A and B are shown apart, each in its own frame.
Chain A
Amino acid sequence: MKRNGFKIGITLALLLLCGYYLYPTVRYALLQRKLNRMPEAERAAFIEANYGTIQELREKALKLGLDLQGGMHVTLEVRLDALIRELATDVDETFEEVLAAARERARTGDVSLIDAFVEEFERRDPNARLSRYFRNPDVGITRRSSNEEVAAYLRKQAKEAVNRAIEIIRDRVDRYGVTEPSIQKQGAHRIVVELPGVDDPERVRRLLRGTARLEFRLMADPQLLQAALQDIIAYYEPDTTDTGSIATTDTASADTSLAALLGEQPTPERPRNPLLAVMQPVGQGVVFGVVAGPDTATVNRLLKNPEVQALLPSGIELLYTANPVGTDERGRPLYYLLGVRKEVELTGEVITDARVEFDELNRPQVSMTMNSEGARIWARLTGANVGKHIAIVLDNVVYSYPVVNERIPSGRSSITGLDSREEAQDIVTVLKSGALPAPVDIVEERTVGPSLGEASIRAGLRSVLTGLLLVALFMIFYYRTGGMIADLALVLNIIFILGILAAFKATLTLPGIAGIVLTIGMAVDANVLIFERIREEQATGKTLRAAIDLGYSKSFSAIFDANITTFFTGAILYSFGVGPIQGFAVTLMAGIVSSLFSAIVITRIIFDYLVLERKLMVSVG
């Protein structure tokens, strides 16, 4: 025993350490099980009473990945192109072209959007100055600023925008209420948001993406809007003398074929108006038309036509209502298309407080308070527009457009026409957190429902246990006592892997479990190598003791070389992979380190004990 005192000490110390790190995980798992067995009421009381302990255990327990516990993983990208356009004080056609080209280059290449923008601009005209677009004495960009200076300014702004977006999103997530959310910056302009246990992805998407641009705007003059509606319908009215227009023939043929399918007599009807096919005109007050949800894309395309845009009253754009105003006969939600002035009278920046309230019919609404400057403008605005509509626009959709009854001096206003209490709550959240400095896109999202996560855990556990059992049985069958020793090392190996994961605060994912299963298969490799070598040495007539010595020493270089290369591949996977793949890489690396230790050090201790101390004949089969 003496010769191995040091090794035994290390092994015991490591086991203790693993126990220390895994203890909270075990306790947390037992607690969960206990909670699941409790009746509903008792559970709530128990959680209440032991909140601190549960929180602490959860914090220290081995973390499960979102693919195992269910939840949402979202990668957001801050739209730098929108930010650049926002920062520009003057925009022309060249600017838009350069921006579009830069966006394309940034998408396909390895270059940042700002660099691509500057390069693209200089490529077109090496002597031109970017400062002509970004002149802004407040931030020190003058007509004479070099392109370098402008680029530096843009980069600084972009960095600040991303950091500010992270803060705002963190604030929104905190207000939404998720246990243990994680919000991290990834690369230059991406934000990774992980939300365990979230079960309403649609709501979270809205919450994360909402720029929270609240605007108060005046609306179109009903007469002018009415006239524009007639003009636009007339524009799309199919020319009866010439049916060569592509749009009309398309709809016409579709109609006749449908009629033919239904077995009806195809009536020689006039070809239909493509706009009227997807939009029901209204032309009453500020309402332009009614559109069903799935048709909005088609309507938008038809209305985007510059010739059609020219027919609208000047300074007016068409926006949808946020919530449906009803459903059509097919049960599709219907939205109003409203004529709204482009000019923004007042923005959400003046809002100092917002909260959910209910009106006399118990419908939710958000009531807002403005600061003194906002209140002053609001009073003037409402005073000057009594009897007219004011649109309350949030992120380019109209929430409500009440008629002003009288001048409002108090700086109070409210958003009505909301769907649910949740929606009101979410609007309060985004208003309070503030507007995002630039729009964000969801560039990646992975959502796993909690039941699917549970199924994955069960599948993973079953694989681990079955694999372990079969490999262990084989080892005993093939290597006898040696196999048993190797099996003990194998079990310790799994404890070590979990301990390492817990100690490094790594996350256990489904691919991570796959890594553990794979490690079980490969971990015995070192012992197989050693045992085979011992057999070879014994075959040459050496004593057991000498054979063991030689077996361990001669196989060491092979074991080392073989494992270090696998370790390298794990490290590379870790540095390039994301999320669950990193989980796999981590368990693979942890598995290599711990299996080397248990297969070389621990089995040797046991062999030495049995052969040298107890003078036993140990069989390796």
Chain B
Amino acid sequence: MRIFENANYPFIQHRKKAYVFSGILLLLSLVSLATRGLELGIDFKGGMEFVVSGATAPGATAIREALTPVLGAEPEVKTYGAEDILIRVAAEGDINEMQQQIIETIRQRFPETQPEVVQTNIVGPRFAEDLKRGAIYSILGALLVIFVYILIRFEWRYSLGAVIALFHDVLITLGLFSLLHGWVPFSLEIDQTIIAAFLTIVGYSLNDTVIIFDRVREYLNLFKTKPLEEVVNLSINATLSRTIITSGTTLLVVAILFIFGGEVLRGFSFALMVGIVIGTYSSIFVASPVVVELRRRMAAQRVAAAR
């Protein structure tokens, strides 16, 4: 069986439509990021988080109301997976005291429960600052390294095209996180694992882009007389079946992870699913057209200079 055999779709010719589509997505993302913002997880916000089992019966709201006067501030309480609830306290203080107060209060107010802390995540404010800094450095570092590597292996237009596509992917994924948090039944908080997912998206999207660029480089030598648009379009079509198959298998395993991987990995695998789709789209509709645009501009300048 073969898909996309002798594919010949006019991707580059229709690039303006893709620009509009991407533009709308980017605009939506930016608007959502500016208005709704992102929900930061405990890694970057700091605080104490207790996952409590055996206490789902009263419901999150009742537990929140019971805990508020005891803790002196309203804690965040939500269901976590099927059997647990997650209680998050912003305050700093003695961990042991906090844990005892939470468990004692639940036990007394809801005698039918058997609360037990099965997981804790505690991040101090200083530590959260450090994690945030680490995350920013790693994303910037990754983008820089990628830019330089493509610069060495290809030329600056490709490098720029690839990095623009990466920004496009990460921004839209972030935008979706911002747009959807609170609306979906799983956590879309930005924490360390999500940063890892973003970097993986960066790596993956680049993977796709590089394979198209590699073909462009090969075809430019092969079809010296053809215009660039046509060569790029041929390259995209020639690699199309591979692009779709690899995206498909990767998307498949990530979807499996999303379904079976458990609560901890849900946000992570969601980010990857979105990233794979956007990354595949952007290597065809963003990275490659950018190279075409940059080349054309230079050709136009050369013509102008010759006159």
Residues of A within 8 A of B (CB): 67, 75, 77, 107-108, 110, 201-202, 205-206, 293-294, 297, 330-331, 441-449, 451-452, 455-456, 459-460, 462-463, 466-467, 470-471, 474, 477-478, 510-511, 514, 517-518, 520-522, 524-525, 528-529, 532, 535-536, 554, 557-558, 561-566, 568-570, 572-573, 575-578, 580-581, 584-585, 588, 621
Q: Closest Cβ of chain B: how far from A489's Cβ, in Å?
A: 14
Main SS at interface, chain A = helix
Distance in angstroms between the alpha carbons of A206 and B95 in the assembled complex:
10
Inter-chain contact B120/A445, CB cutoff 8 Å:
yes
Question: Which B residue's beta carbon lies closest to that of A529?
Answer: B242
Assembly CA distance A565 to B201 (angstroms): 12
| Complex contacts, A514 vs chain B, CB 8 Å | 257, 261, 265, 268-269
Partner of B252, one of A462, A478, A521, A525: A521
Do B252 and A471 have beta carbons less than 8 Å apart?
yes
B96 within 8 A of A: yes
Report whether A568 and B142 are in contact in the complex, using a CB–CB cutoff of 8 Å.
yes
**Complex formed: what's the CA distance from A75 to B153 in Å?**
42
Residues of B115-158 contacting chain A, CB below 8 A:
116-127, 129, 131, 133-135, 137-138, 141-142, 145-146, 149-150, 153
Distance of A447 Cα from B119 Cα, bound (Å): 5
Interface centre among B135, B206, B260 (most CB of A within 10 A): B260
Contact at B210–A562, with CB atoms within 8 Å?
Answer: yes
Bound complex: CA of A477 vs CA of B260, how far in Å? 24
- CB pair A511 B265 closer than 8 Å: yes
Q: How far is the CB of A117 from chain B (nearest CB, A)?
A: 16
Interface string of B185-208 (1 = CB under 8 A from A): 000000011011001101110111
Query: Which listed residue (B2, B138, B193, B210) contacts A621, Cβ 8 A?
Result: B2
Q: Is the Cβ of A558 less than 8 Å from the Cβ of B138? A: no
17 pairs from A and B in contact (CB 8 Å cutoff): A77-B126, A107-B129, A205-B95, A442-B122, A452-B119, A511-B268, A517-B254, A521-B249, A521-B252, A532-B239, A562-B208, A565-B150, A568-B142, A569-B145, A576-B141, A578-B134, A581-B195
The A-contacting residues of B in range 64-96, CB under 8 angstroms, are: 70, 72, 93, 95-96
- Interface residue total, chain B, C-beta cutoff 8 A: 80
User: Is B62's CB within 8 Å of the partner chain A?
Assistant: no
Which among A75, A108, A201 is the interface contact of B129 at CB below 8 angstroms? A108
Given contacts A443-B126, A459-B262, contact A621 B1 (CB under 8 A): yes
CA distance A561 to B196 in the complex (A): 21
A576 and B214 contacting across the interface, CB-CB below 8 Å = no
A566-B246 in contact given A466-B260, A577-B138 (Cβ < 8 Å): no
Instruction: Find the residue from A67, A452, A585 having the highest chain B CB count within 10 A.
Output: A452
Q: Which chain B residues lie closer than 8 Å to A558 at the CB level? A: 210-211, 214-215
CA gap between A561 and B158 in the complex, in Å: 13
- B241 at interface, CB cutoff 8 A: yes
A578 to B202, CA, bound (A): 19
Please, which residue of chain A has its CB at the minimum distance from the CB of B258? A463
Whether the Cβ atoms of A441 and B214 lie closer than 8 Å is no
A328 to chain B, nearest CB (A): 12
In the complex, per-residue mask of B241-269: 1 if CB is within 8 Å of any chain A CB, else 0 = 11001101111111011001110110011
| Residue B238, interface by CB 8 Å | yes
A293 cross-chain contacts in B, Cβ below 8 A: 97, 100-101
- Asked if B106 is an interface residue, CB under 8 A from chain A, the answer is no
